[in-house]
Amino acid sequence: MGDNAGYLEKKKKWQKFMYGYNTAMCLSAGPPMVLAQGFTRKLLKWPYDDPVMMGIYGSIVTSVGVLSAAALQDEAQYEKFLPILYTQIMYKTATCALIAGKLRKKEVSSWGLHFILWFFVLYIVLLSQAIPWKKGACCGEEGTG
């Protein structure tokens, strides 16, 4: 039981870090993607000019930042906000696969795509540390030992 308590405490620390990291990163990147799309696209030398997708993605990123800020309000509520981390790890993995495919085929090659790819890989590694993977380690479930 003590081992599980230490595991959960370590995961709580990582969750706090990730919710804080999400808040800082998402609230600094999301609003510019919505409000200053041309600037954001030029800054990253993004090869696509699709204001609808940039606006949708920027809104999602901003929402993740707001939800992560809400999670930081009460450490006891971290588990209720885990779907934010689960969703991020899934879509960032899918995005990395798509970007890697485009880079492998040499369809596009801007420093912005390379930056996003490696930034998302780092994000996935950090997210994997915050998610309680052990059976019974989350949400008050009884572990089987």
Domain count, the chain: 1
CA atoms within 13 A on the CB side of 23: 15
Low-confidence ranges of the chain (pLDDT < 50): 142-145
Residue type, 44: L
- How far apart are the C-alpha atoms of 98 and 17, rounded to whole Å? 27
- Please give the model's pTM, rounded to 2 decimal places: 0.78
- Cα–Cα dist 42/72, whole Å: 33
Q: Say if 145 falls within a structural domain.
A: no
**Is residue 142, in this structure, part of any structural domain at all?**
no
Res 54: pLDDT = 77
Looking at the domain assignment, is residue 61 inside a domain? yes
pLDDT tens digits along 93-132: 998 998 888 888 876 666 777 888 899 999 999 999 999 8
pLDDT for 145 equals 42
Question: Which pLDDT does position 81 carry in this prediction?
Answer: 93
* 140 is a domain residue: no
Q: What one-character DSSP code corresponds to residue 140?
A: T
Q: How far apart are the first and last CA of the chain?
A: 8
pLDDT of residue 49: 65
pLDDT on residue 143: 46
* Enclosing domain of residue 31: 2-130
Q: Given this model, what pLDDT does residue 130 score?
A: 93
